[in-house]
Amino acid sequence: MPLNVPEQDYMYPGHVACPGCGAAIAMRFFLKAMGEKIIIVLPACCWSIIAGAYPQMSLKVPVIHTAFETGGSVASGVRAALDMKGDTGTTVVTWAGDGGTFDIGFQALSGAVERNENFIYVCYDNEAYMNTGIQRSSSTPYGAWTTTTPGRSWKRMRKKNIVEALVAHRIPYAATASIAFPEDLVRKVEKAKDIKGSRFLHVYATCPTGWRIPSEISIKIARMAVQNNIFPLYEVEDGVKYTINYKPKEFPVREYFKLQGRFKHLTEGDLAEIQEMVNEDWELLLKKAGD
């Protein structure tokens, strides 16, 4: 069945992402929906490399590369300058990884959305510092191995719920999306495009290299994350109106964890504990959505 997404591509072939890179897939679908009337602010992340080293570039849209923690602030300045120049037709987009969003860039992001800056902030989430070689972030899920949570000291803290943190700022639009559900992703980008103020998209982006999985199951893992409520697809408007886009009847998480090398140390007991956490988070989300 052909995908119902726009034909036009804004990425050149031959970029330098790893095979199966979810971040590259995320950008491809995002741009298809977004079009070319944009300026991308790109704080340090895997995409700093994928976008190409001077004098090459893999994108067909302008990019301002910038420092790690400045996704929210640089975009604010770009927006201010464009508005002063009368250019209100260009959309300003920050494209950042989970490190630049959940951790080091959180302050600038919080500041920008508190001011309700008119821009779209996309966090492509590969659940660790992948560009520097798989170090834990506050987005790394409970139970994961990384190079800084090695061996028996695998991560025992839960993943920060970034969407809820953004929702708490009462921004006009916040949503999750996945590379395994491109039509849903495209719809959300198109919706965000037409809204004014701060818009936040949290995009699940598999990392075969860091998650220790074969590249050919990159999309499969992303699909399972949604189907098993590890990464639910939902939208929140104005900080209050929740819409859940996908509701599975049953959602055993075991298989998702078993397929990934980063979780191979987990015991059946650990997995049972994780299932409880996923159940609990899902219940909470249902309550917020009034479902």
Partner 1 sequence: MKKVLEGSHAVAEAVRLSRVTVISAYPITPQTHIIEYLSDYVADGTLKASFLKVESEHSAIASLVGAASCGVRTFTSSSSQGLALMHEILHWTSGARLPIVMAEVNRALAPGWNIWADQLDSLSQRDTGWIQLYCEHGQEVLDTVFLAYRLAEAVSLPVMVIMDAFFLSHTYEPVDVPEQELVDRFLPAFKPKFQVDADNLVALSPLVTPNFYMEMRHNMAKAMEESILQLAEIEEDFSNIFGRYYGPIEPFLCDDAEIIMVTSGTVTGTSRQVIQELREKGEKVGLLKIKLFRPFPSEIIRKALGPAKKIAIIDRNFSFGAGGIFAQEVRAAMCNLSDCPQIFGYIAGLGGRDVTTDLLEDIYWRTKKSEVLSEESIWMGLQEENHAVERS
* Residues at the site binding partner 1, with contacts judged by CB under 8 A: 36-39, 41, 48-49, 51-55, 57, 59-67, 69-70, 72-85, 87, 89-90, 107-108, 110-111, 114-115
Are the C-beta atoms of 125 and 138 separated by less than 8 Å?
A: no
234-237 vs 173-178, strand pairing mode: antiparallel
Q: How far is the CB of 106 from partner 1 (least distance, A)?
A: 11
- For partner 1, the closer of residues 5 and 67 by Cβ is 67
- For partner 1, the closer of residues 64 and 286 by Cβ is 64
- For partner 1, the closer of residues 63 and 134 by Cβ is 63
Coil, helix or strand at residue 244: strand
* Burial track 43-68 (b if 16+ CB lie within 10 A, e otherwise): bbbbbbebbbeeeeebbebebbebeb
Q: How far is the CB of 109 from partner 1 (least distance, A)?
A: 10
Q: Residue 108: in which H helix or E strand, if any?
A: helix 106-114
- For partner 1, the closer of residues 3 and 168 by Cβ is 168
Q: Tell which residue, 131, 97, 125, 134, has the closest CA to residue 210.
A: 134
Q: How far is the CB of 83 from partner 1 (least distance, A)?
A: 6
Q: How far is the CB of 46 from partner 1 (least distance, A)?
A: 12
Q: How far is the CB of 195 from partner 1 (least distance, A)?
A: 19
- For partner 1, the closer of residues 6 and 77 by Cβ is 77
Burial of 222 per CB tally in 10 Å (0-12, 13-18, 19+): buried
